[in-house]
Amino acid sequence: MSEELRTVWWEQGAVCLVDQKRLPHEQVVVRCEGLESVASAIKTMQVRGAPAIGCTAAYGMAQAALQSPAADVAALLADLAVAKDVLDSQRPTAVNLAWATERVLAKARQLGPEADGPRALAAALLEEAHAILAEDLAMCHAIGDHGAPLIPAGGHVLTHCNAGGLATAGYGTALAPMRSAFAQGRAIHVWVDETRPFLQGARLTAWELQQSGIPLTLITDNMAGFMMQRGRVDCVIVGADRIVANGDTANKIGTYSLAVLARYHGIPFYVAAPTSTVDLSIPDGSGIPIEERSSEEVTHLAGQLIAPAGVQAAHPAFDVTPAELITAIITERGVVEPPFVPGLRRVKEGA
Ligand code: MRU
């Protein structure tokens, strides 16, 4: 992704997004003018990727505050609690969404008693949303710094889905170590899983890497094992939607299969994510809610029916990779190696 292309930004009262359903062929900006359109953009995946939906939801909260007719701070806090419920319910797996809405709501509760009325409080919440966006970008660059040394010179990295600039405020999580290694002059090559059924790999990751001049080869998801067996993959780096206390990690459906393959072939399997994706409130992966999406996203490709009409299709959008299959977790505060329980507590809470 070029440095100029932004994923999400605030412009004259609107939450603006580059419509990720139209990429790579068209760059169309969506202007969300209210809570309903922000929620819809998240649900329909015009914006997607855990950190990017977190940033979008933070702006959605600020916008809800600025548009609220509340006459006092207590009424504004009540409106914000409703907005948070609406936004959080759009996509259940990526914890960054609820993390971001909670951060804005907590800020409102903290500043509320001292605020000079609801308008002043709403203005402060917009500043908080700006801060979340800026911090996300900084975290992605730090993930790049920490992760780049893990990629060997001349290395072939395999990635799944899109955990690039489009999935974040910019620069990406899984793509960050690749970007940083490449920027340092290291020759690398990326195998990009197309990522059925939504094709984030083919449509978004391939496009981002191409824009950045990073050598890549697109493969269908079922080619990954073959490439590993032939010794053509040196490491796997993926993003995450939620990493729980023991290190179990939810990410795009198909990630678990890759982790099993990587273990079989003795290939390092890395997860790259900011600490906003770490959820210590859930002890292990069995507690992670898995989003079920429409079966039409499986039976149809670009609006075209590709299966027998009326056939039943399943669409779990995420799976959970057990911690034991993960070599290390790359965060903005450093690389966490097993045992993950103390390591994740340390980076999340400074414990
Ligand atoms: O359904 P999506 O496209 O929102 O899923 C995205 C992923 O699974 C990403 O790998 C994850 O959110 C990390 S993005 C930095």
Strands 328-331 and 334-336 turn out to be antiparallel
Q: Where are the alpha helices (DSSP H) in the chain?
A: 35-43, 50-67, 73-88, 95-111, 118-147, 175-183, 200, 206-212, 224-229, 255-265, 296-299, 340-349
Q: Please check whether residues 166 and 314 belong to one and the same domain.
A: yes
Q: How many CB atoms lie within 10 A of CB 113?
A: 7
Residue 3 domain-assigned?
Answer: no
> Do 159 and 209 form a contact (C-beta atoms < 8 A)?
no
Smallest CA separation from ligand 1 atom 8, residue: 252
Q: Please check whether residues 212 and 288 belong to one and the same domain.
A: yes
Distance (Å) from CA 342 to ligand 1 centroid: 25
pLDDT digits (tens, 9 = 90+) for 322-345: 999 999 999 999 999 999 999 999
Is residue 319 annotated as part of the catalytic site, yes or no? no
pLDDT digits (tens, 9 = 90+) for 95-123: 999 999 999 999 999 999 999 999 999 99
Q: Please check whether residues 228 and 344 belong to one and the same domain.
A: yes
> Do 244 and 285 form a contact (C-beta atoms < 8 A)?
yes
Q: Please check whether residues 200 and 212 belong to one and the same domain.
A: yes
Of all residues in the chain, the percent with pLDDT exceeding 70 is 99
Residue 3 has pLDDT above 60, yes or no: no
Query: In the structure encoding, which two tokens stand for residue 218, read together?
Result: 């697109």
Into how many domains does the chain fold?
2
Q: Please check whether residues 211 and 320 belong to one and the same domain.
A: yes
pLDDT digits (tens, 9 = 90+) for 207-248: 999 999 999 999 999 999 999 999 999 999 999 999 999 999
Provide the mean pLDDT of the chain. Answer: 97
Give the domain range for residue 100: 8-141
Q: Please check whether residues 53 and 127 belong to one and the same domain.
A: yes
Residue 2 has pLDDT above 60, yes or no: no
Ligand 1 lining (C-beta closer than 6 Å):
48-51, 94, 161, 163, 167-168, 173, 200, 239-241, 251-252, 317
> Do 43 and 53 form a contact (C-beta atoms < 8 A)?
no
Residue 351 has pLDDT above 80, yes or no: no
pLDDT bracket for residue 142 (50, 70, 90): very high
Q: Please check whether residues 130 and 162 belong to one and the same domain.
A: no
Distance (Å) from CA 200 to ligand 1 centroid: 9
Q: What is the pLDDT of residue 263?
A: 98
pLDDT bracket for residue 1 (50, 70, 90): low
Rg, C-alpha atoms of the chain: 20
Q: Please check whether residues 45 and 74 belong to one and the same domain.
A: yes
Q: What is the pLDDT of residue 302?
A: 87
SS3 296: helix
Residue 13 has pLDDT above 60, yes or no: yes
Distance (Å) from CA 119 to ligand 1 centroid: 34
Q: Please check whether residues 204 and 313 belong to one and the same domain.
A: yes
Q: Measured from the CA of 96, which atom of ligand 1 is nearest?
A: 12
Q: Please check whether residues 339 and 204 belong to one and the same domain.
A: yes
Question: What CATH number is attached to the domain comprising 332?
Answer: 3.40.50.10470
Residue 83's Cβ-side half-sphere holds a number of Cα atoms within 13 Å equal to: 30
